[in-house]
Chains A and B, each alone.
Chain A
Amino acid sequence: MTVLKIDLESSSWRLEEREDLIAWLGGVGIATQLFLEEAVWDKPPLAPEQPIIFAIGPLSGVYPLATKVVAVFRSPLTEEWGESYAGMRAAIALRFAGYNAVVIKGKAPRPTYLVIDEKGVAFRDARGVWGLDTEETGRLLREFEGGRGRRSIWRIGPAGENLVPLAGVNVDTYRHFGRLGLGALLGSKNLKALVVLGNRSYPIKNPAAYNRMYEKIYRAVVGTPLLSKYHYIGTAENILTLNAQGSLPTLNLRASRFEKAEEVSGERFGRESLFRILACAGCPLGCIHVGVYRRPHPKGAGYISTTLAYDYEPIYALGPMLGLDAVDKVYALLREVEASGLDVISTGVALAWATEALERGIITEKETLLPLRFGAVEGYVQAARYLAQPPNDFYRALGRGLRYATRVYGGEDFALILGGHEMAGYHTGYAFLLGQSVGARHSHLCNAGYSFDQTRKGNYTPEELVQYLLEEEAWRNVLNSLVICLFARKVYTPETTAEALRALGWEAVDPQKLLTLGRKIMRQKWEAKKRLGYTPENLPLPPKRYFETPSGQGLLNPETYSALLKLYRERLASWLNV
């Protein structure tokens, strides 16, 4: 496996051939190993020595829907395990640039962007680009660099430059390395952007077996009704689904149904604004819904427009969560979030907390500098700008996430965090609550607790719930090592995955070994988390709000949650002992 190691401080790079990493498959498996080697445990997340690791897997650019790049880092938001995924052309570009993983360390002496291709790395002056938003940065780099159609451009906006831990990295205009603050890490390294060019080609080793397998997976993907939902309405379909289930976090989770859900439903976004549907390179499905935010010209000269990608999570976090009850209101705020390069979920949840804190008098307009009211979009647009470019201590604190902000200002009872991370849009029940809390990166995607809640509808034993979370997280570590889009998880079963790998020459692979590998990767992550100062013992009880507002399974009880957490901790030790 080829690892590209970049030192920004000395503008140098080198390649390492690492046969030992093959045992870890790829993606998050190898990124975790590299992180264990490169992380500086006693230094803060934004210290120049801290690494950023990007990795693809054996299926990237080779099989359908293997479209993601994983990033692993020490999170400036939670200060522990950072792991994030982005699609569009990220994976295919890195595959054909010729690297399995990229390790970036050091701090560039001045604003810099990198061009990574088959020849290596070019360090380019980014001084004139520094300060520009994500869209304009993308436009300029497209014009400066070649490789149209086979490149991927990863960039930060002002939020990342200003080291705001809520900052993400925008990828190819419509996708992101979201959550956990990778954008601040790039900013701390003076790294404005990466342009990855996929110019190389590789011969197919065993065309007969590989082509047969490719076609089988391709036909399964395009022919599966389960997957077609991602194309037609897109993930935004979930707004009405979760609303009907009473699981849609609304108005800082004072409610789990949104009166105006119809107004911001995926169906409504489609009817009113859908402009086109895009796909990540190598995905015949296409789930990326791009809408037009068309609005009156500010001086009355007709109309102006912007295109923005919408999904369930952005709509949830900026719509119901903040009481924004129209497509255009969500877009107005989303546009600011995208341009600034903020993480959309954390931004929505943080602003919802600030709104309630202001209502309750915990903070005043002296801190917020403007009135924040549920449903009032203008204030939120300005507040998002303040988050990205903090004018005072309050926005600086809020930009560090609610775990930090509530330490300074109080109000933790209604701060929607789990494991120190702002909640995803699923107040579905105990499995979500526990799942996001205990998942390695505190994401609902670590172990899909929300899905267990939705399918089992309260009909399970505590042992079944805990076992599901452990098994799901372990298996997802395999999928995230391939690295596939999790929308294809029903197609990439252990059997299909093993068969797909064997067709590429991974002869020793079988389903059982893959399942074991998933547990081993999970163990390695927990090892890294421990070294970063995190153990499941210091996980606090979720804030009161989660137990005050009914979930999709009715009102949740803190004692039941604590019993589940206790059981999880007991099982985790033996689960990781593999």
Chain B
Amino acid sequence: MARAIRVKDPDRCIGCYSCMLACARLVHRSHSLTKSAIRVQTRGGLQSKWGIDVCRACPDAPCAEACPTGALIPRPGGGVSFNRNKCSRCGNCANACVLRVIHFDEEGYPIVCLYCGHCARFCPQEVIVWEEIAPDSGRSGDRTQDRPGE
């Protein structure tokens, strides 16, 4: 089963950034507000609502379609997997992403969601969840085995 992050209840978001910090810490091994595949932002000032932007794991991923080097390939069940060694840092993926959730690190590599679920594990308010989105070929196996940083 392929898993991905789903934003279930943004009204409960308190803007604590625990999800972003978890992605930076556990996936990117960084203290950072930018090295995160998930982003929490206000819609303009703290009086407004929170928006949580994260890869939705499109079944027919436009980012992979736009990748000229095969660094991003469609993942069975939706979303993509990223091979940094093949990436030419052209930026086409970010331009192709309909939801505009692909950002870059300081070296110019895209920060791509691994669907690992760390962010959801650190959400104190059950705003985001890590859940099965579609059956796949089984090739990916149980992604809990793949959580980086554990």
Residues of A within 8 A of B40 (CB): 149
| Residue pair A280, B16 in contact (C-beta under 8 Å) | yes
Question: A201 in the interface, Cβ–Cβ < 8 Å?
Answer: yes
Partner of A198, one of B26, B33, B149: B33
Question: B45 in the interface, Cβ–Cβ < 8 Å?
Answer: yes
Question: A139 in the interface, Cβ–Cβ < 8 Å?
Answer: yes
Question: B30 in the interface, Cβ–Cβ < 8 Å?
Answer: yes
Chain A contacts with B in 281-298, Cβ cutoff 8 A: 281-286, 290
| Residue pair A201, B46 in contact (C-beta under 8 Å) | no
Partner of A149, one of B16, B26, B33: B33
Question: A204 in the interface, Cβ–Cβ < 8 Å?
Answer: yes
| Residue pair B106, A214 in contact (C-beta under 8 Å) | no
| Residue pair A201, B18 in contact (C-beta under 8 Å) | no
Residues of A within 8 A of B88 (CB): none
| Residue pair B47, A307 in contact (C-beta under 8 Å) | yes
In the bound complex, how far is the Cα of B16 from the Cα of A414, in angstroms? 42
| Cβ distance B100 to chain A, nearest Cβ, rounded Å | 13
| Cβ distance A305 to chain B, nearest Cβ, rounded Å | 10
Question: B124 in the interface, Cβ–Cβ < 8 Å?
Answer: yes
The digit string for B21-42, where 1 denotes a CB below 8 A from any CB of A, is 1001110111111110001111
In the bound complex, how far is the Cα of B15 from the Cα of A286, in angstroms? 8
Interface size for B (C-beta < 8 A) is: 31
Question: B82 in the interface, Cβ–Cβ < 8 Å?
Answer: no
In the bound complex, how far is the Cα of B47 from the Cα of A307, in angstroms? 7
Residues of B within 8 A of A282 (CB): 16-18, 21
| Cβ distance A419 to chain B, nearest Cβ, rounded Å | 33
Question: A148 in the interface, Cβ–Cβ < 8 Å?
Answer: yes
Interface size for A (C-beta < 8 A) is: 42
| Residue pair A204, B31 in contact (C-beta under 8 Å) | yes
Question: B14 in the interface, Cβ–Cβ < 8 Å?
Answer: yes
Question: A92 in the interface, Cβ–Cβ < 8 Å?
Answer: yes
Question: A146 in the interface, Cβ–Cβ < 8 Å?
Answer: no
Given A211-B149, A218-B122, A204 and B30 touching (CB < 8 A)? yes
Question: A278 in the interface, Cβ–Cβ < 8 Å?
Answer: yes
| Residue pair A201, B32 in contact (C-beta under 8 Å) | yes
Question: A96 in the interface, Cβ–Cβ < 8 Å?
Answer: yes
Given A149-B41, A278-B15, A280-B16, A201 and B26 touching (CB < 8 A)? no
Chain A contacts with B in 161-212, Cβ cutoff 8 A: 172-174, 198-204, 207, 210-211
| Cβ distance A115 to chain B, nearest Cβ, rounded Å | 17
Question: B138 in the interface, Cβ–Cβ < 8 Å?
Answer: no
| Residue pair A201, B16 in contact (C-beta under 8 Å) | no
| Residue pair B30, A201 in contact (C-beta under 8 Å) | yes
Given A96-B32, A199-B34, A284-B122, A148 and B41 touching (CB < 8 A)? yes
In the bound complex, how far is the Cα of B34 from the Cα of A45, in angstroms? 39
Residues of A within 8 A of B42 (CB): 148-149
State the main secondary structure of chain B at its contact with A. loop
| Residue pair B17, A281 in contact (C-beta under 8 Å) | yes
Determine which residue in A64, A173, A174, A201 has the highest number of CB atoms from chain B within 10 A of its CB, and name it. A201
Residues of A within 8 A of B105 (CB): 201
Given A142-B44, A222-B124, A283 and B31 touching (CB < 8 A)? no
| Cβ distance B116 to chain A, nearest Cβ, rounded Å | 14
Residues of A within 8 A of B44 (CB): 142, 148
Partner of B45, one of A88, A95, A138, A202: A138
| Residue pair B29, A207 in contact (C-beta under 8 Å) | yes
Given A278-B15, A279-B16, A284-B122, A173 and B26 touching (CB < 8 A)? no
| Cβ distance A355 to chain B, nearest Cβ, rounded Å | 32
Query: Residue of A at shortest CB range from B16?
Result: A279
| Cβ distance B149 to chain A, nearest Cβ, rounded Å | 6
Query: Residue of A at shortest CB range from B46?
Result: A173
| Residue pair B35, A201 in contact (C-beta under 8 Å) | yes
In the bound complex, how far is the Cα of B21 from the Cα of A61, in angstroms? 9
| Residue pair A92, B33 in contact (C-beta under 8 Å) | yes
| Residue pair B41, A283 in contact (C-beta under 8 Å) | no
Question: A150 in the interface, Cβ–Cβ < 8 Å?
Answer: yes
Question: A62 in the interface, Cβ–Cβ < 8 Å?
Answer: yes
| Cβ distance A280 to chain B, nearest Cβ, rounded Å | 7
| Cβ distance B21 to chain A, nearest Cβ, rounded Å | 6
| Residue pair B149, A202 in contact (C-beta under 8 Å) | no
| Cβ distance A205 to chain B, nearest Cβ, rounded Å | 10
Query: Residue of A at shortest CB range from B21?
Result: A282
Residues of A within 8 A of B14 (CB): 276-279, 286
In the bound complex, how far is the Cα of B24 from the Cα of A362, in angstroms? 61
| Residue pair A201, B31 in contact (C-beta under 8 Å) | yes
Partner of A284, one of B16, B26, B35, B41: B16
| Residue pair A211, B26 in contact (C-beta under 8 Å) | yes
| Residue pair B16, A283 in contact (C-beta under 8 Å) | yes
| Residue pair B149, A279 in contact (C-beta under 8 Å) | no
Query: Residue of A at shortest CB range from B125?
Result: A286
| Residue pair A201, B45 in contact (C-beta under 8 Å) | no
| Cβ distance B46 to chain A, nearest Cβ, rounded Å | 5
Query: Residue of A at shortest CB range from B123?
Result: A284
| Residue pair A202, B46 in contact (C-beta under 8 Å) | no
| Residue pair B45, A139 in contact (C-beta under 8 Å) | yes
| Cβ distance B96 to chain A, nearest Cβ, rounded Å | 23
22 contacts between A and B (CB under 8 A): A95-B31, A142-B44, A149-B33, A149-B39, A149-B42, A172-B46, A173-B47, A174-B46, A199-B34, A201-B28, A201-B35, A203-B31, A204-B29, A204-B31, A207-B29, A211-B25, A218-B18, A282-B21, A284-B18, A284-B122, A286-B16, A290-B47
When A and B form their complex, which 10 residue pairs have the shortest distance between CB atoms, in order from nearest?
A201-B32, A286-B14, A279-B16, A284-B124, A149-B41, A279-B14, A150-B33, A202-B31, A201-B30, A281-B17
